[in-house]
Structure 1
Amino acid sequence: MTDVLPALAPSPPAESPRAPQEESELFAEDDEYADYDEYGDYEDYDESEYDEEYDDYDEEPGRPRKKKGKRALGWIAAIAVIALLAGGAWYGFNKFFGYEDFDGAGTDDVVFQVDDGDTTSAIGAKLASAGVVASTKAFVKAGEGNPKLARVQHGFYVMKSHMSGASAVDRITDAAARVGQLEIRPYTQFDDITQPDGKVTPGVYSLMAKASCAQLNGKSTCVSADDLRKAVDAADLKQLGVPDWAIEPANKADRKDRRLEGLIAPGVYDVKPGSTAQEILTQLVRSSAEAIQNAGLTPQSAGPEMTPYQTLIIASIIEREAVKADFGKLSRVIYNRLKINMRLQMDSTVNYVLDRPTLLTDEGERAKSGAYNTYKNTGLPPTPIAVASVDAIKAAVKPPDGDWVYFVKCEKNGLSCFAVTNDEHNRNRDLARQRGVI
């Protein structure tokens, strides 16, 4: 018998090109395999049967069989797709869950600033931008569960470049890393004060000098108190940011380095290490001008028949002479004395030029001439004599009603006794002596 070859099924007609579908480009590149997906005729096709039945026959000349080659290409494409998907998954995992991190405690010193209200993530992003850590996540992950990190305050910190996230967290939560912190309290004056026991209380100049100090890569950033004093002496007050209402009277100070007295508000300031004396002063004066205005002292809101600068002088005397509970009454005493052209007779103004705290003065000290001697001169001294608090400024702007003209400290807690007549005042003085206050 003669073997008869079965007729081969005619090839499907060629299709015109199709618009791209939304599948991944990796799956759309091999059109030959895409065509097979559309025909149901091949769903029940068993390739093994075909192979067994026709393995003994030679291929028809001119019509090479491609099915096995296509099958091999399909496996290669599938493996390639799987590899690409795996690589993409790994990239995505690293992108969303992994992070870069440096090793070790870092290299060069870097001055880094934390702003008020910065979150841990915000700090981490800034550290990454500054080259301190490799990524935000390196810092955030290292700080998880660390309660100290939530207590990091605004200010300047000396960090290192290329720190690991863990090292950066340890350093920024270490109190020694914070630099440039300047606290100015009410009652402080620009010059140092020597206490009765010989202890020196630093003034604004010394406090600014100390705040300027840091060690950056082995070099000191300190600006000395003398450098700051010289800068005030030579400064243009307007360029420093002194309010317009204070420039003219402040320039009448007996010494140029006293022109900023009273114009620095109490508070906590951040001084950037490496700043010049001029930059430090400008920052403090401009911030203080805003604080003084917020305390209620402006050209439109000053003490009765007083300029803003005169009101600030009164506030500084109140700060040095009284405790907070007596601010209002003492303010009224000052206004009443000025109204009747009575000398203020304040020991605090005499002691101001002696760089001493507010204590009783003797006859020899009260007899010395000088612009700040309110025992010899009528009116106000030429400048404020100290940093005035918000409460002292408010008392100077709005003194309470009263006829008091005299006062004397009569209690050991600092409270004073106030009087309208001299006889009443003398009785208060006797009471103060009995109590051992004076």
Structure 2
Amino acid sequence: MELFGDTRSRHAARQTWQRRQRQRRRRRIVFGTTLAILVLIAGAVWYGVRELLTLREVADYPGTGTTEVVVQVEQGDTTRAIAARLVSENVVKSVRAFTLAAEDSDQIRSVQPGYYVMRHRMSGDAAVHQLLAPAARVGQLSIRSGLQLDDVVLPDGKVVPGILSRISQASCAELNGVSTCVPPEELRRAIAATAPATLGVPDWALQAVLRVEPARRLEGLIMPGNYHVRPGSTGVELLVQMMSTSSARLQATGMPAGAQATGYTPYEVLIIASIIQREAIPADFGKVARVVYNRLADGMPLQMDSTINYPLRRQELTTSDADRATPGPYNTYLNRGLPPSPIATPSAEALAAAMHPEPGPWRYFVKCRADGTSCFSVTIEQHRAAVADARRRGIF
């Protein structure tokens, strides 16, 4: 009986011990869970307090600002880089004021390089709102291939704004009630009166442009593409901004090194490219380039109507007998060799054709299809037949 009693006693003791162990484990779990919750709550409280203190500590201007100022956003700028530039221009009081406001806008990443009208002493929120407003962006222009510095009148009387007119329009903004527009005439005077090197003419073109009529010295040197100019700049400053971008684009086409194989100077290749641009559609650029080189090699006049039209500032498919008989440096019917300057802005494709003309014996070409395609000939007899056929079909 005592043995049986001892067994029961030990069993009861073991159950008591196990029950106490389970209670201890539960207490530890409850304590751990409670502690974790308290830590999370404390962290959240601290984060909130810290953010509140941060907001209170951010240096910021109140309101929408005072006087207007033009600010540049450069390619590759981050939000912080934009903020730093705004601080340097006294648009916002601190980088943090702008970046905090920008965190609430998904559109801030869509801000494009260029110039924007902002105000001094703006709040971060106001600066973000202004930067995203379409009307704030200024100084944009697009140059397409084939344009001249001056306006051109089409056969139907429509005026195509030239490069100078487009720069003038892009220079316009209203800053504090004052227009920043620079008229085309002022740009023309700036070209004529300023040293080409000061304007940013590439070294390989400097000597050649000095022999060109002063007002035409930048003809053909402003490449196609989109540009950004700073409203409020002088005429010279606007031209320097344009030439800085264009010179890089010219170099990207392979100029001047790509001209070496032609036997002509880079500036002469630029002239040839401008003629190709005005005479043909892209599909024919290579053949027209070969016609030009073949005629130059043979000592033949180029006889290009585009060069006749150039000083007349109009575009005609054909020119009159009187026009072709009028002496002048751009009359390639009366003069042999190249005209003194480019006659338009060549595209990268036209420059490529001028540097790498298509092989062939052609000396003549004429537009012979409604889509602008030309027919090429080796002899004058073949050419005259192609001209007669094109006229019979109403091409011109």
Taking the aligned partners of 1:392 and 1:125, their CA distance within structure 2 comes to 42
Which residue of the partner structure matches residue 189 of structure 1? 148
Question: 1:238 maps to which residue?
Answer: 197
**Paired residue type of 1:357:** Q
Instruction: Work out the CA distance in 1 between the residues paired with 2:112 and 2:392.
Output: 49
Spell out, residue by residue over 1:206-247, the C-alpha distance to the aligned partner (whole angstroms, 9 max, x if none). 122222222111122222211111111111122222223322
Structure with larger Rg: 1
1:408 alignment partner AA: V
Q: Does the C-alpha gap of structure 1 residues 88 and 266 become closer, same or farther in structure 2, counting only changes over 3 Å?
A: closer
Following superposition, the deviation at residue 320 of structure 1 comes to: 0.8
In structure 1, C-alpha distance between the alignment counterparts of 2:196 and 2:151, rounded to whole Å: 22
Aligned to 1:8: none
Range that drifts further, 104-113 or 363-372: 104-113
The one-letter code sitting in structure 2 at the alignment partner of 1:424 is Q
Q: Does 1:115 align with 2:115?
A: no
Q: Distance in 2 between matches of 1:263 and 1:107?
A: 40
The Cα shift of 1:259 comes to 1.5
In the alignment, structure 1 residue 375 sits paired with structure 2 residue 375: no
Report how far residue 92 of structure 1 moved: 7.0
Q: Aligned-pair distance for 1:170? A: 2.5
Matched with 1:364 is 322
Structural mapping, 1:216-295, within 5 Å: 216-253=175-212, 255-295=213-253
Conserved 8 A contact 1:351-1:359: no
Match of 2:168 among 203, 209, 217: 209
* Matched residue SS, 2:262: coil
* Cα offsets for 1:328-369 (capped at 9, x unmatched): 111001101111111111110000000012521111111111
Find the counterpart in structure 1 of residue 271 from structure 2: 313
Give the RMSD, CA atoms, in angstroms.
2.5
Question: What percentage of aligned pairs have identical amino acids?
Answer: 49
- Taking the TM superposition and a 5 Å limit, the aligned residue runs for 1:19-418 are 90=49, 94-95=53-54, 99-144=58-103, 146-253=105-212, 255-298=213-256, 301-302=259-260, 304-418=262-376
152-161 vs 91-100, which deviates more?
91-100
**Aligned equivalents of 1:197 and 1:122: distance in 2?**
49
**Counterpart residue type for residue 406 of structure 1:** Y
Contact 1:303 1:311 in 2 (8 A): no
Alpha-carbon spacing, 1:153–1:88, altered in 2? closer, same or farther (3 Å): closer
Q: SS of 1:268's equivalent? A: strand
SS of 2:260 mapped into structure 1: coil
Aligned partner of 2:381 among 406, 418, 423: 423
What is the deviation of 1:388?
A: 1.1
Letter in 2 for 1:214: A
Q: Which runs of 5+ in 2 are unaligned?
A: 1-44
Give the counterpart letter for 2:297 in structure 1: K
* TM-score between the two structures when normalised by the length of structure 1: 0.74
Gaps of 5+ in 1: 1-85
* Cα distance change, pair 358–140 in 1 and its aligned pair in 2 (3 A): farther
Q: How many pairs align?
A: 352
For residues 324 and 88 of structure 1, the distance between their equivalents in structure 2, rounded to whole angstroms, comes to: 63
Distance 1:105 1:97, change over 3 A: closer
Task: Determine helix, strand or coil for the equivalent of 2:142.
Answer: strand
Gap change, CA 1:302 and 1:289, over 3 Å in 2: farther
Q: Distance in 2 between matches of 1:318 and 1:151?
A: 38
* CA 1:93–1:173: 2 relative to 1, 3 Å: closer
Deviations 1:140-162 (A, max 9, x none): 44444645432221111001122
State the 1:288 CA deviation.
2.3
Counterpart secondary structure, 1:117: coil
Alpha-carbon distance in 2 for matches of 1:357, 1:303 = 32
- Report the CA distance between 1:114 and its aligned residue: 0.3
Rate the CA distance shift 1:358–1:384 in 2: closer, same or farther, 3 A: farther
The structure-2 alpha-carbon separation of the partners of 1:93 and 1:339, relative to structure 1 and needing over 3 Å to count, comes to same
1:89 CA drift (Å): 9.1
Worse overlay, 297-306 or 208-217:
297-306
Residue 124 to residue 358, structure 1, CA distance change in 2 (3 Å): farther
Q: 3-state DSSP class of the match of 1:302?
A: helix
- Asked if the contact 2:259/2:269 (under 8 Å) is kept, the reply is no
